[in-house]
Amino acid sequence: MADALTRRLAVDLDRAFPAVVDAHGPMVLAILTRLGDAAEAEDLCQDVFTRAYAALEGYGPERIAQLALRPWLVTLARNALRNEHRRRGRKPTVPLAGGEGEPPRSSIGQPERDAVDRDQARDLEALIRRLPDRQQQVVVLRHVAGLTTREVAGVLGCPEGTVKSELSRGLARLRELVVDQRRSEERL
């Protein structure tokens, strides 16, 4: 289970920890941004890594060496989100569909493809929020955060098969939402 980074961490926590932030920071921040209030994500990200460090300090080398770092950090991130929701007493308010008021983007040339992809990605940010909770979780953990389906299953505590079916349902639902959105934009 131990990868090179985990081994370094077990030998010298202080020197290796910045590399953990570099390697897994984007994943943690992605989860916090896409499953929580994006405006709070950076603060929560600090909390998650501060907690992670404090926990690792208490673990000692042997336990650190056994650690599956990625799923562990994901669990810390999800706990941080749960605590934040509880603290607020409600789910964070999130913007619904994005992209309102943008010019129609028909007949565009190849050089603009990248920009369009970025636009579509931005639309997806908003559309993810409209997925049912469970699908939202698996889609973000698998496709945004980049976990394997097996890691997602471990984190959520359910069989890998369940993750796979939620995932295909989630993607199918996202596709419908994307198609709907395009249609409504074309009508504008």
Partner 1 sequence: MSRDRERASATEAGIARQLSTLRPPVSPQLRVAILDRTGLVDHYAPVDTPLGLGLVAFNRRGASLLHVSIDEAEFAAMFAARIGRPLLPAGRPPADVVRALSTGRGQPVAADLRSVGQFQRDVLMAIREIPPGQVRSYGWVAARIGRPAAVRAVGTALARNPVPLLIPCHRVVRSDGAIGHYLFGTEAKARLLRDEAERAGRSPAG
Q: Site residues (CB under 8 A) for partner 1?
A: 14-15, 17-18, 21-22, 25-27, 29-30, 33-34, 41-42, 45-46, 49-50, 53-54, 117-118, 120-121, 124-125, 128, 139-140, 143-146, 168, 171-172, 174-175, 178
- When the beta carbons of 90 and 172 are compared against partner 1, the nearer one is 172
What whole-number distance in Å separates Cα of residue 98 and Cα of residue 187?
A: 16
What whole-number distance in Å separates Cα of residue 169 and Cα of residue 130?
A: 13
> C-beta of 161: minimal distance to partner 1 in Å?
19
Is residue 156 within 8 A of residue 79, CB to CB? The reply is: no
> C-beta of 89: minimal distance to partner 1 in Å?
26
- When the beta carbons of 89 and 133 are compared against partner 1, the nearer one is 133
> C-beta of 178: minimal distance to partner 1 in Å?
7
> C-beta of 17: minimal distance to partner 1 in Å?
6
- When the beta carbons of 89 and 142 are compared against partner 1, the nearer one is 142
> What would you measure as the largest C-alpha separation in the chain, in angstroms?
61
